[in-house]
Amino acid sequence: MDNQTIFPSLIHGGDYNPDQWLDRPDILEADIRMMKKAKINCVTLCVFAWSTLEPAEGEFNLQWLHDVVDRLYENGIYVIMATPSGARPRWLAEKYPEVLRINAQRQRMLFGERHNHCYTSPAYREKVRIIDKKLAEEFASHPAVILWHISNEFSGECHCPLCRDAFRSWLKNRYGSIDRLNHAWWTAFWSHTYNDFSQIESPSPLGDSSLHGLSLDWKRFVTAQTTDFLVAEKKALQEGGARQPVTTNLMRDFTGLDYSVLAKEIDIVSWDNYPFWHSGSGSTGSDIEIAYETALQHDLMRSYRHRPFLMMESSPSSMNWPPISRLRRPGTVPLTSMQAIAHGSDSVQYFQIRQSRGSSEKFHGAVIDHYGGEDTRVFAEVCKTGEDLAALSCLAGTQVDAKAAVIADMESRWAMEAAAGPRNKGLHYREAVLKSYRALREAGLNVDVIDSGAPLDSYKIVAAPMLYMFKEGVPERLRSFTEGGGILIMTCWSGIVDENDLCYEGATPHALTNVLGLRFEEIDGLPDGVTNRFVRAKDADINGKAAGEDDLNLPDSFSCDTLCELVRLEGAKALMVYGDDFYAGHPALTVNRFGKGAAYYVCADAEQALYTSLYGEIAARAGIAPVLKDLPENTCAASRTDGQYEYIFAGHYAPDCVQIKIPQGSEVLCGNKDGILEGYSYIILRRISS
């Protein structure tokens, strides 16, 4: 799909389950009236409606859906049609028990819950094909339907005989011979050598769970099999005549699948955004932290396809599944909805439009609650969001222009976190990525979050924190990026293993030691609570102390914890050294000029302030203009562009009132004309793109 938008304006909507209210035609009418009031222009139907659509095998009941879709469309409300494969009907599990998953302990599950079917089962695939095709035949040509939503939040794994066989075939295809697999998995260790592919079992606490190559390939297989299932659903829709784009909803911080693989098979990335707002101490907690974490997730989702994405779900009020259900503070629904738009979403969608009366989500927030009236605080927040979105339709399809990127690589993370050592109590990869990301955002830059296979040509700054695994081509790309004038920032525990999780022989970070001007020697895992320090390098400390253009204007000291790497300088200059322990005076932060660019190396898990200062200096020297300058505390900015105009969003994530300086040449599209940001509010500016 070449065009960047599926809808002429921003989508405002959410999951809607009229299948729970078929005996209540008045509910549909009330809902439509309230949706129109809230400027809801699109709803997602059928996510879990299979047992209503096909109450018995081969018996279809779709008239109610036609009626609902028609009625919505007459009222200007479009539809995202879901395939119902996220939860199967009871009759299906009864007749075809193979659809029920087997867990790693080799126990078959009972029917129940959702998201728990076998992705390999031919019976499941066939029943899904039939219902998907049927839905497409009936609705592909309906003008209301703008997008197909395949299944729901793909996740989990199955260890049934069918899946284990499929895994063996996948391995055969990957390695060709058992000898090559034995080498890649280093199976001579503990006498685990395989004689034949048929001997391979999926990882299990009853068998192998510490054979790293096996565990890594199993995760890759689960991603491949899930993706294959998704592709089969896409084909079934096409067989039924569907021509609309497809999506599937991804999840926050989800490590069960490598989304960079799955995302290639969908036309539009969408995701479900459920941050724990106000979950810190005090009445609001540290919402700015959550704002940065959420911004990272939005940017990650956008970067999978480098085009606008959809925020498919979010809660307009509290969720009911976290340990404690906090209410969203006034103003936060519009604010955090606009945050999604700022980072490239073309939609604000909720779970769900109408609260269900029974079962496990009856207390989950919804646009329309059990009371059912318009005079609720939550409904007012949704209406305000709807009004602002309607006024911003020019944003649909606009892009985010990022000159900086952070590499976040799932396979590398899997390998690093499965390995034993150097710190089995937590390596903090997620936090390492967030620290670099946040620092770049604090420096005022738009940021892409990319996997290690992504091209780097369009960036001026690339951060590759803890990039433990170098897949094929990675060091070469990082090298030529730096050589060509890019600024590379790497952090400890990088370039240690290859794509098969085998440690590189020789100096590491593999193939990049002359780019970084150093090599890894040892790594110290620090117990919880133990810290070291980064202090400014003095002449006496080290021969290679940075001077001149390399001497950044950094504060005198930062703390660090969890991991301290000891490196040997081979041309790099030390900007900071360790302050304590037997390695006091050893390099802790280094820089090396390489080609037309420079490579920085942060040797330890440093506090956020180090990254904020370092990236601030780097961004200023790289001459990349910040989206907005001099932002008040607890405020962050992001921008989108249509090539002609730049749309700048500033959001304030605290209850106090602040003011931003409105740059010359900008007009205020939304918010206070003097740049005043009340507690939990935002402002949107427009200026000619530079």
Q: Bridge partners of 148?
A: 81, 246
User: Site for ligand GAL (CB under 6 A): how many residues?
Assistant: 9
Is the CB of 313 or the CB of 501 nearer to ligand GAL? Answer: 313
**Closest approach of ligand GAL to the CB of residue 155, in Å:** 9
Residue 93 beta carbon to ligand GAL: minimum distance, rounded to whole angstroms: 19
Phi/psi for 404 (5° steps) reads -125, 150
Distance of CA 204 to the CA centre of its chain: 28
DSSP string covering 366-393:
-SB-TT--S-SHHHHHHHHHHHHHHHTG
Coil, strand or helix at 16 = coil
Determine the Cα–Cα distance for residues 309 and 250; give it in Å rounded to an integer. Answer: 11
Shortest Cβ 321–ligand GAL spacing (Å): 6
3-state helix, strand, coil split of the chain in percent (to 5) is: 35, 20, 45
Query: How far apart are CB 255 and ligand GAL at their closest, in Å?
Result: 15
CA angle, corner 42, sides to 40 and 45, nearest 5?
125
Q: Is 442 in the site for ligand GAL (CB under 6 A)?
A: no
Residue closer to ligand GAL (CB basis): 361 or 561: 361
Stretch 526-555: interaction string toward ligand GAL, x if CB under 6 A: ------------------------------
Q: How far is the CB of 45 from ligand GAL (least distance, A)?
A: 13
* Cβ at position 364, least distance to ligand GAL in Å: 5
What is the contact mask toward ligand GAL in residues 249 to 288, using x (rule: CB under 6 A)?
-----------------------x-x--------------
Does 152 help bind ligand GAL (rule: CB under 6 A)? Answer: yes
Distance of CA 362 to the CA centre of its chain: 27
Report residue 553 as tokens: 């204007």
Site string for ligand GAL, 291-330 (x = CB under 6 A): ----------------------x-----x-----------
Pick 259 or 351: Cβ nearer ligand GAL: 351
388 lines the binding site for ligand GAL (CB under 6 A):
no
Structure tokens at 183: 């080498």
Shorter beta-carbon distance to ligand GAL: residue 19 or 313:
313
Length of the chain: 690
Q: Which two tokens stand for residue 493?
A: 């525990």
Q: How far apart, in whole angstroms, are the C-alpha atoms of residue 140 and residue 144? A: 9
Site for ligand GAL (CB under 6 A): which residue of 21, 139, 154, 351?
A: 351
Instruction: Give the x-and-dash track for 169-208 against ligand GAL (CB under 6 A).
Output: ----------------------------------------
379 close to 422: Cβ distance less than 8 angstroms: no
Choice from 364, 428, 593, 687 touching ligand GAL (CB under 6 A): 364
Rounded to 10°, the helix 63-74/25-37 angle is 30
Closer residue to ligand GAL (CB): 326 or 364: 364
- Indicate which residues carry an active-site annotation: 153, 313
The helix/strand/coil state of 255 is coil
Considering the complex, what minimum distance in angstroms separates the CB of residue 153 from ligand GAL?
Answer: 5
592 contacts 599 by C-beta, under 8 angstroms: yes
Among 98, 132, 138, 153, binds ligand GAL (CB under 6 A): 153
In the complex, what is the shortest distance from the CB of residue 319 to ligand GAL, in angstroms, rounded to a whole number? 5
Q: Which two tokens stand for residue 114?
A: 């959702």
Q: What angle do CA 559, 562, 564 make, to 5 degrees?
A: 75
- The Cα–Cα gap between 60 and 49 comes to 12
Q: List residues near ligand GAL by CB under 6 A.
A: 152-153, 272, 274, 313, 319, 351, 361, 364
